[in-house]
C-alpha cells in the first residue's frame, strides 16, 4: 500500500464474520468521538459491512469536528454526522436515541498540566453518556494503561489481572471504566469495556515510530523493550463486533495482537529493509505494559493482518514518504506522563 486511498480501502474492508454480526445486530450505530484517529475508518468499515449484509441501518458520527473536510468525507461515504461538544450537556441530550453506541471520546496527550480536562473527558463525561444511553448497548473504548507493568515472560495482563494504572491518564481511564460499569449495573445496560493496546495505521502507531527512527538514523530507546499492537482495521472490526457480546455486568476485553513484540527485533526488521543499522540506547526492562488478548482471539479469531505484513506495509510507506500524522503513541513512557 502506497496511497491513502489504498490504505482507507483496506481499513474499510469487512470480513464475512463482521458482515454476519452486523446483520444480526438490531438498530443503528452511533459513534461518539468519531473525529479521532480510529473513528473515520471504523465508520466506513461499519457502512461497508451494512451494505454487504443488505440491511437497513444508519451509522451516525458525533464529534466537535475541528476539520470540516472530515464531515464532507464521512457524509460522502454514507455516514450521518452531528457536530457536538459532548461536555455541553444540553447538546449531549439533543443527540438521537440509538440502540448501539461506540464510545471513543477521551483525552490522553496533553494531560500534563491539563489534568482537570483529562478527568472531565475520561471520567465525568462517561457518566453523562451512560445516563443518556442507559437503554442502549455500549462499547466503551479503554486502554491497556489501566494495568500495571507485568514481567515480559508472563505473557501480559489478562482481564483478570488487578488494575494498577501508572499516572493520571491511566487513572482517569480506570475512572471511565468504573463509571460505565456503575451505570451498566444500575440500569442493566449491556456494556463491553474495550481495552485497546495499541492500534497501528500506516500514518501513525508504534511500528511507524520505530521505522522512522531507524530510517533517520535516530537512536531508539529500548527501555520499554516490548509492546503489543494490532492492525487498526482488525481493532475496528473487533470494536463493532463487541456490540454483540455486551453484557451487564460488563464484558471486559483486552484487544491487541497475539505477539509480545520486541522493539529490538522490529527495529532490526526495518533496518534490513532500509539498509540501515539501527542505533539502540538503554537496556530492555524486565517489565512492560503488555496485554494478553487471548479472550478476544477466542471470541473473534486471530487478527487478519499479521505482524510481518504490518512491518512490510510500514516499510513501504516510509520508503514512499507516505503521509503521516503527528500523533506519537508515547509507548516508551514508563512514568505515565502524557
pLDDT for position 114: 84
pLDDT tens digits along 173-206: 999 999 999 999 999 999 999 999 999 999 999 9
- Cell numbers of 119, please? 478527568
Model pTM score: 0.95
Instruction: Identify the band that residue 338 occupies on the pLDDT scale cut at 50, 70 and 90.
Output: low
8 dihedral zone (left: phi>0; alpha: psi -120 to 50; beta): alpha
- Cell numbers of 289, please? 505494559
Those residues with Cβ within 8 angstroms of residue 38's Cβ, 6 or more apart along the chain or in another chain: 104, 199, 201, 232, 235, 236
pLDDT tens digits along 219-274: 999 999 999 999 999 999 999 999 999 999 999 999 999 999 999 999 999 999 99
Q: What is the DSSP letter of 38?
A: S
Those residues with Cβ within 8 angstroms of residue 88's Cβ, 6 or more apart along the chain or in another chain: none
Residue 100 in contact with residue 21, Cβ under 8 Å?
A: no
pLDDT tens digits along 132-177: 999 999 999 999 999 999 999 999 999 999 999 999 999 999 999 9
Amino acid at each position: 500500500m502506497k496511497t491513502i486511498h489504498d490504505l482507507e480501502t483496506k481499513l474499510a474492508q469487512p470480513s464475512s464474520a463482521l458482515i454476519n454480526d452486523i446483520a444480526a445486530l438490531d438498530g443503528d450505530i452511533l459513534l461518539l468521538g468519531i473525529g479521532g484517529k480510529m473513528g473515520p475508518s471504523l465508520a466506513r468499515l461499519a457502512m461497508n459491512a451494512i451494505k454487504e449484509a443488505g440491511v437497513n441501518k444508519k451509522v451516525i458520527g458525533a464529534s466537535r469536528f475541528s476539520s470540516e473536510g472530515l464531515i464532507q468525507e464521512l457524509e460522502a461515504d454514507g455516514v450521518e454526522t452531528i457536530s457536538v461538544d459532548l461536555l455541553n450537556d444540553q447538546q449531549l441530550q439533543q443527540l438521537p436515541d440509538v440502540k448501539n453506541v461506540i464510545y471513543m471520546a477521551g483525552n490522553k496527550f496533553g494531560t500534563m498540566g491539563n489534568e482537570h480536562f483529562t478527568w472531565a473527558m475520561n471520567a465525568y463525561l462517561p457518566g453523562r453518556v451512560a445516563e443518556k444511553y442507559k437503554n442502549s448497548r455500549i462499547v466503551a473504548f479503554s486502554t491497556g494503561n489501566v494495568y500495571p507493568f507485568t514481567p515480559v515472560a508472563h505473557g501480559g495482563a489478562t482481564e483478570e489481572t488487578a488494575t494498577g494504572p501508572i499516572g493520571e491518564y491511566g487513572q482517569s481511564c480506570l475512572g471511565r471504566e468504573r463509571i460505565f460499569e456503575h451505570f451498566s449495573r444500575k440500569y442493566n445496560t449491556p456494556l463491553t469495556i474495550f481495552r485497546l493496546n495499541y492500534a497501528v495505521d500506516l500514518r501513525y502507531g508504534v511500528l511507524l515510530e520505530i521505522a522512522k527512527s531507524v530510517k533517520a538514523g535516530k537512536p531508539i530507546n529500548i527501555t520499554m523493550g516490548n509492546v503489543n499492537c494490532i492492525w487498526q482495521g482488525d481493532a475496528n472490526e473487533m470494536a463493532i463486533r463487541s456490540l454483540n457480546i455486551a453484557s451487564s455486568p460488563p464484558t471486559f476485553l483486552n484487544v491487541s495482537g497475539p505477539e509480545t513484540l520486541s522493539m529490538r527485533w522490529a527495529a532490526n526488521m526495518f533496518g534490513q529493509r532500509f539498509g540501515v543499522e539501527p542505533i539502540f540506547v538503554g537496556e530492555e526492562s524486565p517489565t512492560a505494559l503488555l496485554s494478553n488478548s487471548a479472550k478476544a482471539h477466542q471470541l473473534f479469531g486471530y487478527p487478519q493482518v499479521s505482524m510481518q505484513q504490518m512491518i512490510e506495509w510500514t516499510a513501504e510507506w516510509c520508503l514512499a514518504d507516505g503521509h503521516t500524522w503527528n500523533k506519537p503513541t508515547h509507548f516508551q513512557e514508563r512514568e505515565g506522563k502524557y
